[in-house]
Amino acid sequence: MTVKIALLGLGTVGSGVLNIIKKNNGKIEQTSGQTIVVKKALVRNLQKYQEFAEKVSLTTDFNEILSDPEIKIVTDVMGGLHPAKEYISEALSAGKNVVTANKDLMAVFGSELIKLAQDNHCDLMYDASAAGGIPILRTLSDSYVGDHILEIQGIVNGTTNYILSQMDEKGLSYAAALKRAQELGFAEAYPTNDVTGKDAAYKMILLCQFAFGVHIKLSDFSVQGINHLQGFDLQQAKKLGYTIKLIGIAKKIADQLFIEVAPCLLSNDALMANIKNEINALQIVSENLGTALLTGPGAGSIATANSVMNDIVSEVRNLAHKNTGQLFNRFSNEDSLDITKDVKYPYYLSFAQEKIAHLSQIFDELGIEIQELKQIEDRTIVITKAITRRQLEKMTTTGVKILASYKIL
């Protein structure tokens, strides 16, 4: 049996999918039992992609894909919310199965698109949307069926991890590290979503759906990126024996969920602190299995293309067995989880130089215990004992300006 598919986009990920199919066609046929052929690829500019014209039929008209009865799977690798949402909606409504690597789309419009897929007895696969080369969504869906996940945390953005690694190990400035990431294809020309933490936040939304069966919005939790990280704090963390990483955390406590994306200080001997460059890592804590760590490439075309290919093969198998229309994620928590800010962590805090007596008084009034306090150059550095984010937020009402605040994990 030959299954014909279409690609929406032929950039780094789309061309990666095309190359994987060509290079590994024999193994794909053996493992899936089917021959996969990319029949059409949607592009914005035909001239720009002429190098692929011999491998696939190029088009600028989505209707050519939509109206082609031979195309059974539409693969979205174009990114962005629009027109990706409209294309995927039309494809599902036309009875075509969809594979997407678009985490922004699934985080914002996932519920709507999943329902549309169900209504039309189609599949919507999106494992590639969460953590690059780590098949995390499928792992959560298939390998934790009889288990209860208590916490999931880790590095879910390869771009920021590369930038932080270069700043930490090679002493590069933020601007220089970002430029290098762009040159290597680990960062987009406009990397706002990556460096502000928004990309990681979208992924945490998807992870929470699979890990805890809940649907949350970006506005439900705190998101902080690395774009305001200063070299001073990076150096101080290093002197204290810590490494700074952008970490996504989702932790279940009874009927509450703490979720956050922010730069955090990790002890240099922690496993996560030694995940370097564009690599992603996710730590899952569950009742039955305890702690498991999954790692893999989180940036670059091949990592994402490989995950997309896995979804395509899964979809091809479903077509062969006439088993389409199944939910990718069947877990839904009947009991809603309230978002909480009351989980306690120690914090590294940096202030413009303050009188120690004044700062100590404010901390005492807020019930914050100090573990270490020192003045360096024109800064006052404080390491607190475990406090809640709510206590931290109250500090902003005292008139004392916090220049940096990072959880210590």
Binding annotation for L-homoserine: 188
The kind and range of the H/E element at 405 are strand 402-408
CB 313 within 8 A of CB 28: yes
Distance CA 301, CA 325 (A): 29
Largest CA distance in the chain: 77
The full length of the chain comes to 409
Does the active-site annotation cover 179? no
CA distance 210 to 139: 9
Q: Are 102 and 203 within 8 A, CB to CB?
A: no
Structure token digits, residue 346: 């120690």
- Residues forming the annotated binding site for NADPH? 103
Report the chain's terminal Cα–Cα distance, integer Å: 51
Chain-centre distance of CA 359, in angstroms? 37
Distance from C-alpha of 328 to C-alpha of 123, rounded to nearest angstrom: 8
Contact call for residues 236 and 229 (beta carbons, < 8 A): no
Question: What CA–CA distance (Å, rounded) separates 165 from 277?
Answer: 5
* Distance (Å, whole) CA 345 – CA 388: 7
**Beta-carbon neighbour count of residue 171 at 10 Å?**
12
Q: Report the candidate in 284, 292, 331 with the shortest Cα–Cα distance to residue 149.
A: 284
Catalytic residue among 40, 203, 251, 407: 203
Cα separation, 237 vs 71, whole angstroms: 53
* Separation CA 263–CA 243 (nearest Å): 10
Q: Phi, psi (5° rounding) for residue 241?
A: 90, 25
CA-angle at 282, arms to 134 and 127, nearest 5°: 35
The count of C-alpha atoms lying within 13 angstroms of the C-alpha of 193, restricted to the half-sphere facing its C-beta, is: 18
Residue ranges of the annotated binding site are 8-15, 103, 188
- Residues recognised as catalytic: 203
